[in-house]
Amino acid sequence: MENKLRIRFLGTGTSIGVPIISCNCEVCTSANFKDNRLRASVLLSYREKNIVVDCGPDFRMQMLLAGVKDLEAILLTHEHRDHIAGLDDVRAFNYILNKPIHLYLSDRVLENVKIEFPYIFNPGDYQGEPKLILHDLKNEPFDVGEIRITPLLVMHGEMPVFGFRLGDFSYITDANFIPDETIEQIKGSKILVLNALRKRKHPTHFCLSEALEIIEKVKPEKAYLTHLGHYIGLHDQVNKSLPAHVELAYDGLEIVLHYQSNQATNAK
Protein backbone atom coordinates (compact mmCIF):
# COMPACT_ATOMS: atom_id res chain seq x y z
CA MET A 1 0.00 0.00 0.00
CA GLU A 2 1.15 3.54 -0.72
CA ASN A 3 2.48 5.66 2.13
CA LYS A 4 0.28 8.66 1.39
CA LEU A 5 -1.68 10.80 3.82
CA ARG A 6 -4.61 12.34 1.97
CA ILE A 7 -6.09 15.49 3.46
CA ARG A 8 -9.44 16.90 2.38
CA PHE A 9 -10.93 20.10 3.74
CA LEU A 10 -14.54 19.21 4.52
CA GLY A 11 -15.34 22.69 5.75
CA THR A 12 -13.35 25.92 6.06
CA GLY A 13 -15.98 28.27 7.48
CA THR A 14 -16.66 29.86 10.81
CA SER A 15 -19.37 28.78 13.28
CA ILE A 16 -22.30 30.09 11.20
CA GLY A 17 -20.84 29.16 7.84
CA VAL A 18 -20.60 31.20 4.65
CA PRO A 19 -22.88 32.40 3.15
CA ILE A 20 -24.52 33.65 6.32
CA ILE A 21 -28.32 33.50 6.45
CA SER A 22 -29.83 36.82 5.34
CA CYS A 23 -26.46 38.46 4.55
CA ASN A 24 -26.14 40.27 1.23
CA CYS A 25 -22.43 41.13 1.36
CA GLU A 26 -20.20 40.44 -1.66
CA VAL A 27 -18.79 37.28 -0.08
CA CYS A 28 -22.13 35.78 0.91
CA THR A 29 -23.54 36.46 -2.57
CA SER A 30 -20.41 35.37 -4.46
CA ALA A 31 -20.85 32.93 -7.34
CA ASN A 32 -17.38 31.47 -6.66
CA PHE A 33 -17.76 28.08 -4.95
CA LYS A 34 -14.59 28.82 -2.97
CA ASP A 35 -16.49 31.51 -1.06
CA ASN A 36 -19.08 28.95 0.14
CA ARG A 37 -17.86 27.45 3.40
CA LEU A 38 -19.29 24.71 5.60
CA ARG A 39 -18.25 24.52 9.25
CA ALA A 40 -14.56 23.75 9.85
CA SER A 41 -13.55 20.10 9.59
CA VAL A 42 -10.90 18.01 7.84
CA LEU A 43 -10.75 14.41 6.59
CA LEU A 44 -7.49 12.47 7.00
CA SER A 45 -7.13 9.27 5.00
CA TYR A 46 -4.31 6.73 5.19
CA ARG A 47 -4.37 3.22 3.74
CA GLU A 48 -8.17 3.21 3.42
CA LYS A 49 -8.67 4.37 7.02
CA ASN A 50 -10.51 7.65 7.49
CA ILE A 51 -10.25 10.03 10.44
CA VAL A 52 -12.29 13.22 10.78
CA VAL A 53 -11.25 16.18 12.92
CA ASP A 54 -14.44 17.71 14.36
CA CYS A 55 -18.00 16.95 13.30
CA GLY A 56 -20.12 20.08 13.29
CA PRO A 57 -23.70 20.58 12.07
CA ASP A 58 -22.63 20.02 8.44
CA PHE A 59 -21.09 16.59 9.15
CA ARG A 60 -23.72 14.55 7.27
CA MET A 61 -23.45 16.65 4.12
CA GLN A 62 -19.65 16.69 4.36
CA MET A 63 -19.52 12.89 4.45
CA LEU A 64 -21.82 12.69 1.43
CA LEU A 65 -19.93 15.31 -0.57
CA ALA A 66 -16.59 13.60 0.14
CA GLY A 67 -17.99 10.15 -0.66
CA VAL A 68 -16.89 8.72 2.69
CA LYS A 69 -18.12 5.12 2.97
CA ASP A 70 -16.21 4.13 6.10
CA LEU A 71 -14.99 6.01 9.16
CA GLU A 72 -12.49 4.88 11.76
CA ALA A 73 -12.40 7.76 14.22
CA ILE A 74 -13.38 11.32 15.07
CA LEU A 75 -11.02 13.67 16.91
CA LEU A 76 -12.62 16.59 18.75
CA THR A 77 -10.63 19.78 19.19
CA HIS A 78 -13.09 21.24 21.70
CA GLU A 79 -16.75 21.29 22.68
CA HIS A 80 -18.27 24.23 20.83
CA ARG A 81 -21.36 23.22 18.85
CA ASP A 82 -19.88 24.03 15.46
CA HIS A 83 -17.38 21.23 16.22
CA ILE A 84 -19.62 18.58 17.82
CA ALA A 85 -23.22 19.08 16.64
CA GLY A 86 -23.00 16.34 13.99
CA LEU A 87 -22.18 13.50 16.38
CA ASP A 88 -25.65 12.01 16.03
CA ASP A 89 -24.97 11.32 12.35
CA VAL A 90 -22.40 8.63 13.12
CA ARG A 91 -25.48 6.41 13.46
CA ALA A 92 -25.40 5.93 9.69
CA PHE A 93 -21.95 4.35 9.91
CA ASN A 94 -23.15 2.26 12.85
CA TYR A 95 -26.14 0.94 10.87
CA ILE A 96 -24.50 0.35 7.51
CA LEU A 97 -21.12 -0.92 8.70
CA ASN A 98 -22.35 -2.57 11.89
CA LYS A 99 -19.53 -1.10 13.96
CA PRO A 100 -18.96 1.67 16.50
CA ILE A 101 -16.88 4.78 15.77
CA HIS A 102 -13.86 5.68 17.88
CA LEU A 103 -14.18 9.12 19.46
CA TYR A 104 -11.14 10.92 20.90
CA LEU A 105 -11.90 13.79 23.28
CA SER A 106 -10.65 15.32 26.51
CA ASP A 107 -12.44 14.90 29.84
CA ARG A 108 -13.79 18.45 29.66
CA VAL A 109 -15.12 17.97 26.15
CA LEU A 110 -16.71 14.66 27.19
CA GLU A 111 -18.64 16.35 29.99
CA ASN A 112 -20.04 18.86 27.51
CA VAL A 113 -20.88 16.16 24.96
CA LYS A 114 -22.85 14.36 27.69
CA ILE A 115 -24.91 17.50 28.18
CA GLU A 116 -25.54 17.98 24.46
CA PHE A 117 -26.23 14.30 23.73
CA PRO A 118 -27.49 12.69 26.96
CA TYR A 119 -29.21 9.83 25.10
CA ILE A 120 -25.85 8.53 23.85
CA PHE A 121 -24.81 7.73 27.40
CA ASN A 122 -28.22 6.97 28.96
CA PRO A 123 -30.39 5.67 26.10
CA GLY A 124 -33.00 3.99 28.30
CA ASP A 125 -35.47 2.25 26.00
CA TYR A 126 -34.20 4.15 22.95
CA GLN A 127 -32.40 1.82 20.55
CA GLY A 128 -31.06 4.35 18.04
CA GLU A 129 -28.28 6.08 19.92
CA PRO A 130 -24.88 6.57 18.21
CA LYS A 131 -22.44 3.78 19.04
CA LEU A 132 -19.08 5.20 20.10
CA ILE A 133 -15.87 3.90 21.63
CA LEU A 134 -14.54 6.69 23.83
CA HIS A 135 -10.84 7.51 24.17
CA ASP A 136 -9.45 9.97 26.70
CA LEU A 137 -7.54 12.62 24.76
CA LYS A 138 -4.59 13.97 26.73
CA ASN A 139 -1.67 16.16 25.75
CA GLU A 140 0.45 13.23 24.64
CA PRO A 141 0.87 11.30 21.36
CA PHE A 142 -1.52 8.46 20.57
CA ASP A 143 -2.17 6.04 17.73
CA VAL A 144 -5.24 5.52 15.60
CA GLY A 145 -4.39 2.31 13.81
CA GLU A 146 -1.11 2.95 11.98
CA ILE A 147 -1.32 6.72 12.39
CA ARG A 148 0.64 8.44 15.16
CA ILE A 149 -1.08 11.68 16.22
CA THR A 150 0.47 14.40 18.37
CA PRO A 151 -1.98 16.77 20.09
CA LEU A 152 -1.09 20.46 19.84
CA LEU A 153 -2.25 22.44 22.85
CA VAL A 154 -3.40 25.98 21.97
CA MET A 155 -5.69 28.58 23.51
CA HIS A 156 -9.10 29.65 22.22
CA GLY A 157 -9.63 32.73 24.37
CA GLU A 158 -9.50 31.29 27.91
CA MET A 159 -10.23 27.75 26.69
CA PRO A 160 -7.47 25.18 26.06
CA VAL A 161 -8.17 23.33 22.82
CA PHE A 162 -6.25 20.82 20.74
CA GLY A 163 -4.87 20.92 17.26
CA PHE A 164 -3.16 17.84 15.82
CA ARG A 165 0.02 16.90 14.00
CA LEU A 166 0.37 13.82 11.78
CA GLY A 167 3.83 13.49 10.27
CA ASP A 168 4.50 16.63 8.24
CA PHE A 169 0.95 17.95 8.61
CA SER A 170 -0.25 20.22 11.45
CA TYR A 171 -3.85 21.38 11.85
CA ILE A 172 -5.00 24.11 14.24
CA THR A 173 -8.43 25.71 14.33
CA ASP A 174 -10.14 28.00 16.86
CA ALA A 175 -7.02 29.48 18.41
CA ASN A 176 -5.78 32.95 19.28
CA PHE A 177 -2.62 31.98 21.18
CA ILE A 178 -0.03 29.22 20.69
CA PRO A 179 2.44 28.58 23.52
CA ASP A 180 6.14 28.44 22.68
CA GLU A 181 6.23 24.72 23.51
CA THR A 182 3.53 24.05 20.93
CA ILE A 183 5.28 26.25 18.37
CA GLU A 184 8.30 23.97 18.75
CA GLN A 185 6.07 20.92 18.21
CA ILE A 186 4.73 22.41 14.99
CA LYS A 187 8.10 23.43 13.56
CA GLY A 188 9.29 21.15 10.78
CA SER A 189 5.77 20.70 9.41
CA LYS A 190 5.66 20.86 5.64
CA ILE A 191 1.98 21.83 5.76
CA LEU A 192 0.43 24.03 8.45
CA VAL A 193 -3.29 24.74 8.60
CA LEU A 194 -4.23 27.65 10.85
CA ASN A 195 -7.40 29.58 11.57
CA ALA A 196 -7.78 33.20 10.43
CA LEU A 197 -11.32 34.34 11.13
CA ARG A 198 -11.19 37.84 9.64
CA LYS A 199 -8.93 40.82 9.03
CA ARG A 200 -9.81 42.69 12.23
CA LYS A 201 -8.61 41.44 15.62
CA HIS A 202 -10.91 39.01 17.42
CA PRO A 203 -10.94 38.02 21.14
CA THR A 204 -10.79 34.24 20.60
CA HIS A 205 -9.52 33.64 17.04
CA PHE A 206 -6.45 34.67 15.10
CA CYS A 207 -7.08 37.47 12.66
CA LEU A 208 -5.28 37.38 9.32
CA SER A 209 -2.19 39.35 10.39
CA GLU A 210 -1.79 37.28 13.56
CA ALA A 211 -2.03 34.03 11.61
CA LEU A 212 0.66 35.28 9.21
CA GLU A 213 2.91 36.07 12.18
CA ILE A 214 2.56 32.49 13.46
CA ILE A 215 3.28 31.12 9.99
CA GLU A 216 6.45 33.24 9.86
CA LYS A 217 7.57 31.74 13.19
CA VAL A 218 6.91 28.15 12.14
CA LYS A 219 8.14 28.52 8.53
CA PRO A 220 6.26 25.62 6.91
CA GLU A 221 6.74 24.92 3.24
CA LYS A 222 3.05 25.70 2.73
CA ALA A 223 0.30 27.16 4.94
CA TYR A 224 -3.45 27.14 4.49
CA LEU A 225 -5.89 29.35 6.38
CA THR A 226 -9.21 27.97 7.61
CA HIS A 227 -12.17 28.77 9.90
CA LEU A 228 -12.85 31.80 7.73
CA GLY A 229 -15.75 34.20 8.10
CA HIS A 230 -17.29 36.43 5.45
CA TYR A 231 -15.29 39.40 6.77
CA ILE A 232 -12.09 37.79 5.49
CA GLY A 233 -13.07 38.93 1.99
CA LEU A 234 -13.40 37.24 -1.38
CA HIS A 235 -11.26 34.12 -1.75
CA ASP A 236 -9.49 35.07 -4.98
CA GLN A 237 -8.83 38.66 -3.95
CA VAL A 238 -7.40 37.72 -0.55
CA ASN A 239 -5.16 35.04 -2.06
CA LYS A 240 -3.53 37.64 -4.32
CA SER A 241 -2.49 39.62 -1.22
CA LEU A 242 -0.91 36.70 0.65
CA PRO A 243 2.71 35.50 0.64
CA ALA A 244 3.43 32.95 -2.08
CA HIS A 245 3.47 30.02 0.37
CA VAL A 246 0.16 30.95 2.07
CA GLU A 247 -3.35 30.38 0.70
CA LEU A 248 -6.91 30.43 1.90
CA ALA A 249 -8.18 26.87 2.07
CA TYR A 250 -11.56 26.08 0.53
CA ASP A 251 -14.12 23.32 0.89
CA GLY A 252 -13.08 20.27 -1.14
CA LEU A 253 -9.40 21.21 -1.36
CA GLU A 254 -7.25 18.06 -1.25
CA ILE A 255 -3.57 17.69 -0.32
CA VAL A 256 -1.44 14.55 -0.48
CA LEU A 257 1.68 14.07 1.65
CA HIS A 258 4.11 11.21 2.08
CA TYR A 259 3.51 9.59 5.45
CA GLN A 260 5.44 6.81 7.19
CA SER A 261 3.17 4.80 9.46
CA ASN A 262 4.05 4.17 13.08
CA GLN A 263 4.29 0.45 12.31
CA ALA A 264 7.01 1.13 9.72
CA THR A 265 8.78 3.44 12.15
CA ASN A 266 8.63 0.92 14.99
CA ALA A 267 9.96 -1.83 12.73
CA LYS A 268 13.25 -0.01 12.22
How far is Cα 18 from Cα 45, in angstroms, rounded to an integer? Answer: 26
Q: Is residue 151 part of a domain?
A: yes
Q: Is residue 111 part of a domain?
A: yes
Position 261 scores a pLDDT of: 79
Taking 70 as the threshold, does the pLDDT of residue 6 lie above it? yes
Q: Is residue 260 part of a domain?
A: no
Q: Is residue 257 part of a domain?
A: no
Q: Is residue 147 part of a domain?
A: yes
pTM over 0.75: yes
Q: Is residue 95 part of a domain?
A: yes
Position 263 scores a pLDDT of: 53
DSSP label of 212: H
Domain hosting residue 13, numbered range: 4-252
CATH of residue 25's domain is 3.60.15.10
Position 128 scores a pLDDT of: 86
pLDDT digits (tens, 9 = 90+) for 51-64: 999 999 999 999 99
pLDDT digits (tens, 9 = 90+) for 209-218: 999 999 999 9
How far is Cα 80 from Cα 85, in angstroms, rounded to an integer? Answer: 8
Residues in the chain: 268
Q: Is residue 27 part of a domain?
A: yes
Taking residues 110-114, what's their average pLDDT? 98
Taking 60 as the threshold, does the pLDDT of residue 21 lie above it? yes
Print burial letters for 18-39: b (CB count within 10 Å at least 16), e (below 16).
bbeeeeeeebbebeeebbbbbb
Taking 80 as the threshold, does the pLDDT of residue 36 lie above it? yes
Residues 6+ apart with CB under 8 A from 112: 79, 84
Q: Is residue 263 part of a domain?
A: no
Q: Which band of pLDDT confidence, cut at 50, 70 and 90, is reported for residue 125?
A: confident
* Number of domains the chain contains: 1
Of 114, 160, 120, nearest in space to 138 by CA = 160
Work out the percent of the chain whose per-residue pLDDT is above 70: 97
Taking residues 216-221, what's their average pLDDT? 98
The answer to whether the CB of 264 falls within 8 A of the CB of 171 is no
Taking 90 as the threshold, does the pLDDT of residue 267 lie above it? no
Taking residues 18-22, what's their average pLDDT? 98
Position 99 scores a pLDDT of: 96
